[in-house]
Structure 1
Amino acid sequence: MSNLDRAARQLLEALQQDCRQSTQALAEQVGLSATPVWRRIKELEEGGVIRRYVALADREKLGLSICVLANVSLVRHGEGATEAFEAMVRASAEIIECQAITGEADYVIKVVAPDMKAYDQFLQSKVFKVAGVASVRSNVVLRELKYETALPVP
């Protein structure tokens, strides 16, 4: 579904900015009537281009003052270490992003917590409990310069 026409691209851009817009409002933006817009949105959903709709919450207003980018290295990738680590990631609400990466570390995780004590507790009770975790190098975010969830639509 990578061959999106102009209208589909415009719809996707509009939905990424505000997915609560009515079909009529979206139709006015892309120059179509409401029924074709509704049909195109369904096609984008069914084709997996639109995975889900979410509300973006302000982490600091939720008391999550600390944001940490941590590079995690595993001792070995055999014997279930990778699977165990990835299962812990999926089960941990504190981890809001995780990527397997190339370079010195195996993964980079983005963790939110109320404070450093809570982050330390998270490391001790979850990350370091996973057999095969060799090291964690934490980088505390001082300030967020850009936080976007919308993807560029070519």
Structure 2
Amino acid sequence: MDHIDKRILMELQTNAKQNIKEIASKVGLSVTPTYERVKKIEQAKIIKSYVALLDREKIGKKFIAYCQITLIRHHKDLLDGFKLHTLQYPEIMECHHISGNFDFLLKIVVDDITQYQQFINEKLSLLDSISTINSSFVMESVKDSTVFQV
């Protein structure tokens, strides 16, 4: 990947809806080589998908919590089972298996604290593999980016 491919990726991350002609003019190439580069990047699976990023507050998702999860023990079946369960809950936006004092870090996004409490009480805490759940609530999002520096 050269510097032009990286500029193409930055352009697509900023606005994936722009057409090839617009991208080409911004990166200093003609349309055909830009198109070929984009297709090559897509075929290499560097671009996972094209999505619409929603304003979470405008759709009512105003409450973000980060949950630090500790499992009852480190066992492959428990780890794999927990990972599979997290995929079933749309409230869990991110799930990371981490090192340190906790086993997993979850980003949970819901409408409000009441919905969060329901999620914890009626879904997450029912998983037998969990020993502890520690929650931190977002007071303000200072930076919330989806753009990777390439």
Instruction: Give the TM-score range, shorter chain.
Output: over 0.9
User: Hey, what's the Cα distance between the residues in 1 that align with 2:48 and 2:24?
Assistant: 21
2:133 to 133, 136, 140: 136
Identity of aligned residues (%): 32
Aligned length in residues: 150
User: Hey, what's the Cα distance between the residues in 1 that align with 2:21 and 2:87?
Assistant: 37
User: Hey, what's the Cα distance between the residues in 2 that align with 1:12 and 1:35?
Assistant: 16
**Residues 41-79 of structure 1, C-alpha deviations (whole Å, 9 max, x = no match):** 111111111111111111111111210011011011226
Q: For 1:43-58, what aligned pairs fall within 5 Å after superposition?
A: 43-58=40-55
Matching residue of 1:152: 149
User: Hey, what's the Cα distance between the residues in 1 that align with 2:120 and 2:9?
Assistant: 38
1:75, 1:133 within 8 Å by CA — same for their partners in 2?
Answer: yes
Matching residue of 1:24: 21
Q: Which deviates more, 139-148 or 50-59?
A: 50-59
User: Hey, what's the Cα distance between the residues in 2 that align with 1:141 and 1:130?
Assistant: 24
2:66 to 60, 65, 69: 69
User: Hey, what's the Cα distance between the residues in 2 that align with 1:17 and 1:95?
Assistant: 25
1:37: how far off? 0.9
Question: Structure 2 length normalisation: TM-score?
Answer: 0.96
User: Hey, what's the Cα distance between the residues in 2 that align with 1:55 and 1:88?
Assistant: 26
Q: Alpha carbons of 1:79 and 1:106: their partners in 2 closer, same or farther (altered >3 Å)?
A: closer
Q: For 2:83, give the aligned amino acid.
A: E
Q: For 1:145, give the aligned amino acid.
A: V
Instruction: Supply the RMSD in Å over aligned alpha carbons.
Output: 1.1
1:81 to 78, 83, 106: 78
Matching residue of 1:59: 56
Q: For 1:80-99, what aligned pairs fall within 5 Å after superposition?
A: 80-99=77-96
